[in-house]
Structure 1
Amino acid sequence: MPIASEIFNLTFDAAYPRRLAEFWALALGYRLEPPPDGFATWEEALAAWNVPPDEWDSASAIIDPNGVLPRIFFQRVPESKSAKNRVHLDVRAWRYTAPDGGRPPEADVQAAIYAKVAELVAAGATTVGTVEQYGNAWTVLQDPEGNEFCVV
């Protein structure tokens, strides 16, 4: 059975692809995609391919360090974001660690959410607000280019 990284990419439109890629690598525990074989850096590869320096930040990508989850690609587009996302990511701040495989105590979940929100705000996110519904709470943020996402 193929793994997710072999089936699809998730793509973000961006004004500054590298900056957004670095933000989402931090948010998701991913890493920047390494340059192709034979090149020490992306800059070296792009120069060798005669890509003009003003185009070097036209795309960037991040990958799951375990090679299982999908690659996330960031492409520069001329227009800025103008409306609410129709699709967004939920960044899970906690893991199923209870002995029965269930959700940890709510105080632990909320502490993990608070810590992840603080980390992402320090990296350039903006807090939109907190939502409480059906006994759960999560925080809505915007990444450095205004794309909404939730920390759950």
Structure 2
Amino acid sequence: MADAWTMTFDSADPPALAAFWKAALGYVDAAPPTGFADWAEFLRHYDVPEDEWDGVASLEDPAGRGPRISFLKVPEPKTAKNRIHLDIQAGGGRGVPWEVRAPRVRAAVARLVEAGATVLREDEVDGRLDHVVMADPEGNEFCVV
């Protein structure tokens, strides 16, 4: 049996970065831990000062299929290329015919730019769009396939 896992982003502004990824992936704010009515109650219970409540955010897949994603405030900025990244398979994956996949990818890219992402480059195979490399509002790279 596989272990459960989460993905965590270091961030300058966890709530803002979480809002971007919530829109990008269709995720929702994570429910508070069992036994707590909301996150404020949880944080108060553990004596986290209110001025630190923006230091973390958490999202989850509403269908329960994908991993939970957390965002933690860190003091240092991003300084190098990611060694791991997300692929958003908006086109349906490389098994979908190019004529179907490419418009889906372009529509997702437009939606993500509107949400705050930046296009870094478009990569082609045989002269056709294969995927688009993008960056989220804090510069973390990801691809739309």
TM-score, with length taken from structure 2: 0.86
Q: Of residues 69, 73, 76 in structure 2, which corresponds to 1:72?
A: 69
Give 3-state SS (helix, strand or coil) of 2:133's partner.
strand
Question: Which letter maps to 1:133?
Answer: V
Question: Which letter maps to 1:52?
Answer: P
| Alpha-carbon distance in structure 1 between the residues aligned to 2:137 and 2:39 | 23
What's the offset of the Cα at 1:21? 1.5
| Alpha-carbon distance in structure 1 between the residues aligned to 2:20 and 2:89 | 15
Question: Which letter maps to 2:74?
Answer: V
Structure 1, unaligned runs of 5 or more: 97-101
What's the offset of the Cα at 1:45? 3.4
Please say if 1:148 is aligned against 2:141: yes
| Equivalent runs, 1:64-103 vs 2, <5 Å | 64-95=61-92, 103=95
Question: Which letter maps to 1:137?
Answer: D
With 103-112 and 35-44 compared, the bigger mean Cα shift is at 35-44
Q: Deviations over 1:27-61 (max 9, x none)?
A: 12221102234544423432454322221111111
Could you say which residue in structure 2 is the equivalent of 1:138? 131
Could you say which residue in structure 2 is the equivalent of 1:35? 32
Structure 2, unaligned runs of 5 or more: none
| Alpha-carbon distance in structure 2 between the residues aligned to 1:82 and 1:114 | 28
Q: Report how many residues are paired.
A: 144
Q: Deviations over 1:61-114 (max 9, x none)?
A: 111212232111111111000011111111110236xxxxx8333122111101
Question: Which letter maps to 2:105?
Answer: I
What's the offset of the Cα at 1:136? 5.0
Could you say which residue in structure 2 is the equivalent of 1:127? 119
Question: Which letter maps to 1:149?
Answer: F
| Alpha-carbon distance in structure 1 between the residues aligned to 2:125 and 2:54 | 40
Could you say which residue in structure 1 is the equivalent of 2:7? 10
TM-score, with length taken from structure 1: 0.83
